[in-house]
């Protein structure tokens, strides 16, 4: 299979760490969107995921229904793609420890039930995690979890309003009440805990380098010197690269899969991202591969507004059931469905950690 190339256009040049303007970014997105109709070498799901990738910074999912109370119904792109910088290292103790699970209803649960919909911030361009199938429906590991949460709270997994949000808008979307939860490969860390609450961890990953096969880049090391390295704004990868660049030039984009498009266009030399995300990208484009070893250990959690502890506890109850059952658990079933061909088959969900108060 040949890797996908977008011909006849180039997106607007992305300044290091988001110094470009929204107008320039919008213009580039429009041209790349027109070029998406000329995709070659990809088929089926991969082509659909790529088309979503190049438009994700400017396009929202078709939506119906109302936003959470107090929030607008639109998720806006950030004024700058670097509006949410995060420190690469944790300074608090046990950031993955969350509130103990409970099935009791509280204000947040009652509000969701009154609205009749769970509003979830998700990705629509990360293959295997949150992406559009050829039939237009969202699919992926994160989407399966959203459905499980909706079924527990509302009795129907389809009672969900999905809102596509850029990586850098995950925290603002929660703080401003535009979504009830964010399920979008979001790493739990101490800096983010200052702004939002998290469920217990539902997946373990690590930062790693993705590069073209045959590239002189060998990993997160001195081989990055002088290379253009792409990361998603507001991601732990961006924070890590800012902390230790190894002489590379950082290029920041609004959505993670935009990095793969830039790599295919030759505008960057490598990508740093979670290896779980990168595995999906390598499955889309066999001309790229993970190099070196993971240099962090990170855990994904469901992000929730800090003023909704009852929702945190309810999600943790859902996760208890989601992990239960060993090889027959909903977690393992979803893992096999999405990752059996691209990630280790023996993977298990991380054990939950709890705290009181």
Smallest CA-to-CA distance from 231 within 218, 244, 214, 216 is with 244
207 has a pLDDT exceeding 80: yes
**% of the chain exceeding 90 in pLDDT:** 58
Render pLDDT for 233-270 as a digit per residue (tens, 0 to 9): 888 899 999 999 999 999 999 887 789 899 999 999 99
Asked if residue 96 lies in contact with residue 299, where contact means CB atoms within 8 angstroms, the answer is: yes
Mean pLDDT (the chain, rounded): 79
Sorting pLDDT into bands at 50, 70 and 90, what band is 343?
A: confident
**Whole-angstrom Cα distance, residue 344 to residue 71?**
40
Pairing of strands 130-132, 125-126: antiparallel
- Degrees (nearest 5) of the Cα angle 255, 183, 145? 130
User: Does position 41 have pLDDT exceeding 60, yes or no?
Assistant: no
Task: For residue 295, give both structure tokens.
Answer: 């240099």
Q: Bigger pLDDT: 29 or 207?
A: 207
Tell me the DSSP string of 94-158: -TTEEEPP-----HHHHHHHHHTSEEEEE-SEETTTEEE-TTS-EESHHHHHHHHHHHHHHS-TT
Q: Evaluate if residue 80 carries a pLDDT over 70.
A: no
- In this predicted structure, what is the pLDDT of residue 37? 36
Per-residue pLDDT tens over the stretch 3-29: 443 333 333 333 333 333 333 333 443
C-beta separation of 139 from 124 below 8 A: no
Contact 93, 202 (CB under 8 A): no
Bridge-based pairing state of the strands 118-122 and 181-182: parallel
Tokens coding 194: 């200052």
- Residues 170, 181 contacting (CB under 8 angstroms): no
Instruction: Spell out the residues 6+ positions from residue 57 whose beta carbon is closer than 8 angstroms to its own.
Output: 25, 29, 77, 166, 253, 254, 255, 258
Q: Is residue 309's pLDDT more than 70? A: yes
Per-residue pLDDT band at 53 (split at 50, 70, 90): very low
Q: Which of 158, 139, 136 is nearest to 147 (CA)?
A: 158
Residue 277 pLDDT: 85
> Alpha-carbon distance 196 to 184, whole Å?
14
For residue 20, the model assigns a pLDDT of 34
Q: What is the pLDDT of residues 160-205, one digit of tens each?
A: 999 999 888 999 999 999 999 999 999 999 999 999 999 999 999 9
Buried b (16+ CB within 10 A) or exposed e, 183-197: bbbbbbbebbbebbb
pLDDT given at position 58: 31
pTM of the model: 0.72
Contact between 44 and 134 (Cβ < 8 Å): yes
pLDDT tens string 110-159: 999 999 999 999 999 888 999 998 888 999 999 999 999 999 999 999 99
pLDDT of 92-122, one tens digit each?
Answer: 889 999 999 999 999 999 999 999 999 999 9
């Amino acid at each position: 299979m040949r890797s996908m190339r977008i011909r006849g256009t180039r997106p607007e040049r992305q300044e290091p760490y988001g110094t470009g303007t929204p107008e320039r970014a919008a213009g580039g997105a429009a041209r790349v969107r027109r070029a998406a109709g000329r995709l070659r070498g990809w088929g089926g799901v991969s082509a659909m995921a790529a088309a979503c990738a190049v438009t994700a910074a400017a396009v929202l999912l078709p939506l119906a229904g109302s936003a959470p109370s107090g929030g607008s119904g639109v998720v806006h792109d950030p004024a700058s793609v670097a509006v949410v910088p995060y420190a690469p290292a944790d300074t608090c103790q046990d950031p993955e420890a969350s509130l103990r699970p409970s099935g009791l209803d509280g204000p947040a649960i009652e509000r969701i039930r009154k609205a009749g919909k769970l509003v979830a911030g998700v990705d629509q361009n990360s293959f295997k995690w949150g992406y559009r199938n050829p039939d237009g429906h969202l699919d992926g590991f994160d989407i399966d979890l959203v459905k499980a949460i909706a079924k527990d709270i509302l009795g129907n997994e389809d009672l969900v309003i999905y809102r596509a949000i850029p990586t850098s808008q995950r925290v603002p979307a929660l703080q401003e009440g535009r979504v009830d939860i964010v399920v979008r490969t979001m790493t739990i860390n101490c800096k983010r805990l200052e702004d939002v609450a998290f469920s217990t961890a539902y997946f373990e990953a690590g930062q790693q380098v993705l590069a073209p096969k045959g590239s002189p880049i060998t990993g997160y090391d001195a081989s990055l010197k002088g290379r253009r390295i792409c990361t998603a704004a507001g991601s732990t990868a961006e924070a890590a690269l800012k902390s230790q660049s190894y002489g590379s030039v950082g290029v920041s984009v609004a959505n993670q899969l935009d990095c793969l498009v830039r790599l295919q266009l030759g505008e960057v030399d490598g990508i740093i991202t979670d290896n779980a995300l990168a595995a999906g990208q390598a499955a889309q484009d066999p001309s790229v591969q993970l190099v070196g070893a993971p240099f962090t250990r990170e855990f994904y959690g469901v992000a929730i507004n800090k003023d909704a502890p009852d929702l945190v506890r309810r999600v943790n109850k859902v996760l208890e059931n989601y992990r239960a059952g060993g090889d027959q658990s909903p977690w393992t079933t979803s893992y096999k469905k999405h990752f059996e061909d691209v990630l280790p088959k023996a993977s298990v969900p991380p054990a939950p950690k709890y705290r009181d108060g």
